[in-house]
Amino acid sequence: MTDLTRLETAQEIVLNAIQPLGCEKIGLLDSLGRVLGEDIIAPRDNPPWDNSAMDGFAVRWEDIKQEHAIAKIPELVIIEDVPAGAVATKAVGKGQAIRIMTGAPIPEGADTVVRVEYTEATGDRVRILKTESGRGANIRPRGEDVKRGDCIIRKGTLLRPAEVGMLAILAKSFLMVHQRPRVAILSTGDELIDLDEQFDEHKIVNSNSYGIAAGVQEAGGIPVLLGIAKDDLNALAAKIQQGLGCELLVLSGGVSMGDYDFTKAVFAQLGAEMNFWKLAIRPGQPVAFGRIQRTLAFGLPGNPVSSMVTFDQLVRPAILKMGGHQTWQRPVVQAVFQETFTKQPDRRHFLRGILRRENGVLTVRTTGGQGSGILTSLVKANGLIDIPVEVERLNPGDLVNVQLLTHNF
Ligand code: AMP
Ligand code: MG
């Protein structure tokens, strides 16, 4: 079918329309999951001085090197104790040692640390029972981790626990990160009721707003829920207006065959330029995208699975890019398909799958019924099996690409 738009084309158009937002200053403890908005230059070396990697004795290699039998190494005189956090006041001279704890600065005169297990101390004397590998053993040199003036974390980096720890080393209690996009979410349809309304078995609970809000949060955006708009031109236009202060607007419903002209009319009334696509994907064929004033708007299909899958493939990357992320693809793994599957070679399919590791091999099977209204198909899934447009048949044992929806499985 020639009137279908490839998902890759739509993704490119969406991403090309997105610019990363500006930056804001936040506290270090709020930085997890944010995207760094500045290059971080080390203000000093880390570690700041040569320090001991072991509890033991700081000595002169000359005094303990093993040119003769170990028994001939003379006893050394312990002239000082340096616990962690303290600094030696004396220098290690010939025949002397300073007791030192892990992390403490290496005293002057010493060039080697002998770990405590290799020694026997009595009073102010220590005997070396075994020497270390050479001069400099058990010494962590100044700046081995971070060198003053180096760029340690680059702008655009996603901040994980490791980066947060490093930022603490670099004394960044406050830092610049990209702002989080605000995403207005609006569900449309006369058939919908919201969670706080009286349950009515003839109506459909608005689940999309909540699933989409969660997807927005997962991608680092701030959801702004606008509720439900009736299938009425003025009502819908009024609700959309409320969302125009946000960077993005996500509508669900109103883009399928029956609603299409209506939604199109609303967008036209608001002066929007919209692309209406019939995407070559399943689930989720009809999707709209365009700009209303300064807000980028998405119209996603109403069926819950279609709405979540199109959100995942189009809106999630947009939120990530806007939030300053430099990558927005979900991780993809290859897995061995366990079923038989046939389709027309006209659309890219996203089957909801369960990935498992079986005897060291990744396998994947579908979650069962794959209808676009069967949200349990996504609830049970830890991956989206990505079947290319051209493929017509898959057999058990075939390799497929799977987009990971969870990090642990
Ligand atoms: P539409 O895309 O507007 O034609 O909607 C298709 C179907 O999706 C509707 O008949 C509903 O069953 C379902 N639907 C639409 N909007 C929502 C929503 N916000 N939450 C849950 N289901 C919805
Ligand atoms: Mg509708």
CB 387 within 8 A of CB 360: no
pLDDT 10s digits, 121-175: 999 999 999 888 899 999 999 999 999 999 999 999 999 999 999 999 999 999 9
Examine the pLDDT at 307 and tell me if it is beyond 60: yes
Higher pLDDT, 71 or 256: 256
CB 114 within 8 A of CB 99: no
Contacts of 151 (CB under 8 A, 6+ apart): 39, 40, 41
DSSP designation for 279: B
pLDDT tens for 197-246 read: 988 889 999 999 999 999 999 999 999 999 999 988 999 999 999 999 99
Using CA positions, which residue lies closest to atom 20 of ligand 1?
206
Dihedral of CA 398/402/408/409: which sign?
A: negative
- Write out residues with Cβ below 6 Å of ligand 1: 187, 189, 191-192, 204, 206-209, 252-256, 259, 301-304
The pLDDT mean for the chain works out to 94
Ligand 1 pocket test, candidate residues 194, 303, 309, 311, most atoms within 8 A of CB = 303
> How far away, in angstroms, is 311 Cα from ligand 1 center?
14
Mutation probe of ligand 1 site: the residue of 188, 201, 202, 204 with most atoms within 8 A of C-beta? 204
Q: What distance in Å separates the CA atoms of residue 91 and residue 400, rounded to the nearest whole number?
A: 66
CA of 363 to the centre of ligand 1 (A): 33
Mean predicted confidence (pLDDT) in 314-318: 98
CA 18/CA 387 separation, integer angstroms: 27
Between the CA of 265 and the centroid of ligand 2 the distance, in Å, is 14
Residues around the ion ligand 2 (C-beta < 5 A): 189, 253, 259
332, 403 contact by CB (below 8 A): yes
* Cα 357 to Cα 363: distance, rounded to the nearest angstrom: 6
**What's the gap in Å between 42 CA and the centre of ligand 1?**
53
Distances (CA, A) of 305 to 37, 99, 114, 118, 364: 35, 66, 64, 65, 19
User: Closest ligand to 307 CA?
Assistant: 1
Beta bridge partners of 246: none
**8 A C-beta contact, residue 358 and residue 222:** no
Full set of structural domains in the chain with CATH: 7-22+180-322 (3.40.980.10), 26-42+154-178 (3.90.105.10), 51-140 (2.170.190.11), 332-404 (2.40.340.10)
Ligand 2 centre and the CA of 190: distance in Å? 7
**Residue 195 burial class via C-beta count within 10 angstroms: exposed 0-12, middle 13-18, buried 19 and up:** exposed
Place of tokens 């642990």: 408
Share of the chain above pLDDT 90, in %: 86
What confidence score (pLDDT) does residue 1 get? Answer: 46
| Structure token digits, residue 55 | 């509890």
Q: How confident is the model at residue 262 (pLDDT cuts 50, 70, 90)?
A: confident
pLDDT class of 69 with cuts at 50, 70, 90: low
Ligand 1 nearest atom to the CA of residue 254, by list position:
3
pTM for the full predicted model: 0.91
- Phi and psi at residue 147, to the nearest 5°: -105, 135
Distance 223 CA to ligand 2 centre (A): 21
